[in-house]
């Protein structure tokens, strides 16, 4: 049996990406086979599709770092045929054949149940980006910082992580400051719940080790100089959740925010989070994320359209979330 899949191959002239028939017999080992209905487009998917960064570490590879679908066959006691499931991370689309395909075979321990009241398309409108945003919100809450302590900054606010973070935090009562380099998206961000919009240029060039205290918490998907400036302008005992590297992997900062203001920097690992944390995050997404706002930030494409979208997400041309309707 074969099925349709986006396949990345590597030859003497470099990487190629195409929509192909893929044999079920060539799927990788796993104890659950899933009929994939939806996937999504994340920043890491853009890196994989374009070959801009060595995300893919085996070839041939089916990209797509997450999916939602229905269990077809299972040798795992936690899942039965017909169960709706979600998968984020665990090397999907990097070391394990991923979600841009009609069929996937994976380890059952990687899967979580689709929350009650959530459709597969909604789950992938959230996707790894939105799930990462929820993990960031949970980290801020665990640190004990609340809306009463001051505003929250969201960088890369018009992107996937940022859009969901803005919507989540606004619904939870935060005064959200959204940082974006796309002035035309101000209306979109205000509709999601942002109270203030600032130009990313305020944060994207080198600044002082300590600046004026402006926010009590933050969700940063940009990294590099932007994260350094966010830290420098965080209030005493504030907390920043770092979950991305759109500007770069470096962090040109000093110890000043940490030892003079007691600022905390928390790293967010969305790839191998414990199952209990993954389930908690998805339950909170089901209850805390406004589904109308989610629909407003979401567009849908078909599987063949994935071939053209990689460069667009890396160039910052994608607003919000893009769902891939695989079936």
Residue from 118, 189, 139 nearest 159 by CA: 189
- Rounded distance between C-alpha atoms, residue 173 and residue 148, angstroms: 9
What does residue 11 show for φ and ψ, rounded to 5 degrees?
Answer: -125, -165
Q: What is the pLDDT of residue 78?
A: 97
Mean pLDDT of 92-119: 97
Q: pLDDT tens across 228-267, in order?
A: 999 999 999 999 999 999 999 999 999 999 999 999 999 9
Q: Are strands 14-23 and 196-199 parallel, antiparallel or unpaired?
A: unpaired
User: With a threshold of 0.85, does the pTM exceed it?
Assistant: yes
Q: pLDDT tens across 269-288, in order?
A: 999 999 999 999 999 999 99
Mean pLDDT of 91-117: 97
Q: pLDDT tens across 20-51, in order?
A: 999 999 999 999 999 999 999 998 999 999 99
Residue from 322, 326, 325, 324 nearest 298 by CA: 322
Confidence of residue 319 (pLDDT cuts 50, 70, 90): confident
List CB contacts of 234: < 8 A, sequence separation 6 or more. 213, 214, 215, 216, 217, 218, 240, 257, 261, 263
- Rounded distance between C-alpha atoms, residue 252 and residue 224, angstroms: 6
Confidence of residue 114 (pLDDT cuts 50, 70, 90): very high
Q: What is the pLDDT of residue 134?
A: 98
Kindly tell me the number of DSSP H helices and DSSP E strands found in the chain. 9, 15
**Bridge partner residues of 264 (DSSP):** 239
Q: What is the pLDDT of residue 308?
A: 94
Q: What is the pLDDT of residue 60?
A: 97
Confidence of residue 316 (pLDDT cuts 50, 70, 90): confident
The CATH 3.40.50.720 portion of the chain extends over: 127-267
CATH fourth-level superfamily of 2-114+297-325:
Medium-chain alcohol dehydrogenases, catalytic domain (3.90.180.10)
CB 232 within 8 A of CB 209: yes
Angle between helices 306-314 and 43-50 (to 10 degrees): 110
CATH topology of domain 127-267: Rossmann fold (3.40.50)
């Amino acid at each position: 049996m074969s099925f349709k899949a986006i396949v990345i191959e590597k030859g003497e002239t470099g990487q190629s990406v195409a929509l192909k028939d893929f044999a079920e017999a060539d799927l990788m080992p796993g104890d659950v086979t899933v009929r994939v209905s939806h996937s999504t487009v994340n920043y890491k998917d853009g890196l994989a599709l374009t070959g801009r960064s060595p995300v893919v570490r085996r070839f041939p590879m089916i990209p797509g770092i997450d999916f939602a679908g229905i269990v077809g066959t299972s040798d795992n006691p936690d899942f039965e045929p017909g169960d709706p499931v979600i998968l984020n991370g665990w090397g999907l689309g990097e070391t394990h054949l991923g979600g841009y395909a009609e069929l996937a075979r994976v380890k059952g321990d990687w899967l979580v149940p689709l929350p009650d009241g959530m459709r597969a398309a909604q789950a992938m409108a959230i996707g790894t980006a939105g799930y990462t945003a929820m993990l960031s919100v949970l980290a801020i809450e665990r640190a004990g910082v609340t809306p009463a302590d001051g505003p929250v900054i969201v960088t890369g606010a018009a992107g996937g992580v940022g859009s969901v973070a803005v919507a989540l935090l606004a619904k939870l009562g935060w005064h959200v400051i959204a940082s974006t380099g796309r002035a035309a998206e101000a209306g979109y961000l205000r509709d999601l719940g942002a109270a203030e919009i600032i130009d990313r240029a305020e944060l994207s060039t080198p600044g002082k080790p300590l600046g004026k205290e402006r926010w009590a918490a933050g969700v940063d998907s940009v990294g590099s100089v932007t994260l350094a400036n966010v830290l420098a302008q965080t209030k005493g005992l504030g907390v920043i959740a770092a979950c991305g590297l759109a500007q770069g992997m470096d962090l040109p900062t000093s110890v000043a925010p940490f030892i003079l203001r007691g600022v905390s920097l928390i790293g967010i690992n969305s790839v191998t989070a414990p199952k209990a944390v993954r389930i908690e995050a998805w339950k909170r997404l089901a209850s805390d994320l406004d589904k109308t706002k989610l629909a407003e930030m979401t567009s849908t494409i078909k599987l063949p359209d994935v071939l053209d979208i990689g460069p667009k997400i890396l160039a910052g041309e994608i607003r919000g979330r893009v769902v891939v309707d695989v079936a």
